[in-house]
Structure 1
Amino acid sequence: MTTDNRPDDGEHKLENLEAAVDHLHKSIESQSIAVGAAKGILFSLIETLGALIGDPDLPEHARSGYEALRDKASELRGGLDRH
């Protein structure tokens, strides 16, 4: 019998979304992205995370991960709103 050691699909999605938020954060810090573009991307990420969090079939441990990432993205957007 073979055991599958790959992360489940939900964990993989969370990792990809976290990588996107981290990449966006680095791009903002290095000023390699326009503020308006960053705000638009963050809006989309926050909306996507909100939709995932609202899924009633989402396990609680995954929900908390998505919520933490949504908070991180919201804080980043809050910093941009001051520009």
Structure 2
Amino acid sequence: MLRFRGLLYGSDWFHRVLVGGMPIVTAVLAIALWRAIDNSREVAPSVLSMALFALSYLGLAISLWPHLIPAILGYTAYSYWVFRGKVTGSFGYH
């Protein structure tokens, strides 16, 4: 139990390396995006912007990890409870 709790709350080395590397990767992507915009490229700024956007959501998910799982499970249980019996086999999901 103690080992699982350590993994859940981020006391292991992997979590620290992952969180510690996020600012470095973000800075590298931001510099690459700035250079791609200065060089008047067409595809690279778009791809780098999407990568920077995805990286921001990844950082948010990493920082909220211990609290994210109960919220998702609670929302799923609540939505199943609210919509119980509303959808039958004859209607399906259409």
Q: 1:52 aligns with which of 23, 32, 43?
A: 32
> Which structure would you say has the larger RCO, counting Cα contacts within 8 Å and 6 or more residues apart?
1
Map Cα deviations across residues 29-69 of structure 1 (whole Å, 9 max, x no partner): xxx96222101222111110000111111513111001111
Identity %: 13
TM-score (norm 1): 0.54
Q: In structure 2, what is the equivalent of residue 62 of structure 1?
A: 44
Count of residue correspondences: 52
Q: In structure 2, what is the equivalent of residue 43 of structure 1?
A: 23
TM-score (norm 2): 0.48
Deviating beyond 3 angstroms after TM superposition, the runs of 4 or more aligned structure 1 residues are none
Structure 1: segments with no counterpart, 5+ residues: 1-31
Structure 2: segments with no counterpart, 5+ residues: 1-11, 66-94
What secondary structure does 2:52 align onto?
helix
Cα RMSD of the aligned pairs, angstroms, is: 2.0
> Counterpart amino acid of 1:81?
S
Q: Distance in 2 between matches of 1:58 and 1:35?
A: 37
Distance 1:39 1:54, change over 3 A: same
What secondary structure does 1:59 align onto?
coil
Q: Report the alpha carbon displacement of residue 82 of structure 1 after superposing the two structures with TM.
A: 1.3
Of structures 1 and 2, the larger Rg is shown by: 2
